[in-house]
């Protein structure tokens, strides 16, 4: 066996050995995605398809949900607080009706 053929065989064996582990890493875990339709950063369990209309960014994979939550808290594009529902704010003092 020539050196070139032997190197190719070793390379192929290495790639085949890595395939299951590499594929598992690419298809499992948690991702943080920016979702235009909900105006939120969501955590999903499948590799997101970035289409720039609904899903505009994706980060991951992360090994655990806690890791994904931590990552979401550090992503600049993600809101730091959930938006309040309309009308849930208490009225300000002294702002009564004239009269």
Q: What is the pLDDT of residues 70-84, one digit of tens each?
A: 999 999 988 876 544
pLDDT bucket at 3, cuts 50 / 70 / 90: low
Give me the pLDDT at residue 65, please: 96
pLDDT (0 to 100) of residue 22: 45
Residue-wise pLDDT tens digits, 18-77: 444 444 445 589 999 999 999 999 999 999 999 999 999 999 999 999 999 999 999 998
Asked if omega into 61 is within 30° of 0 (cis), the reply is yes
Look at residue 43 and give its three-state secondary structure. strand
Residue 82 neighbours by CB distance under 10 Å: 7
**Can you give the pLDDT at residue 64?**
96
For residues 54 and 77, give the distance between their C-alpha atoms in angstroms, rounded to a whole number: 15
Rg value, the chain, Cα: 24
């Amino acid at each position: 066996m020539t050196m070139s053929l032997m190197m190719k065989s070793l390379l192929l064996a290495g790639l085949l050995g890595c395939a299951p582990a590499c594929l598992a890493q690419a298809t499992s875990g948690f991702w943080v995605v920016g979702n235009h339709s909900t105006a939120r950063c969501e955590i999903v369990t499948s590799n997101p398809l970035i289409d720039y209309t609904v899903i505009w960014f994706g980060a991951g994979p992360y090994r655990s949900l806690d890791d994904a939550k931590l990552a979401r808290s550090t992503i600049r594009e993600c809101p730091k607080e959930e938006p309040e529902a309309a009308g849930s704010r208490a009225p300000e003092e002294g702002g009564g009706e004239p009269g």
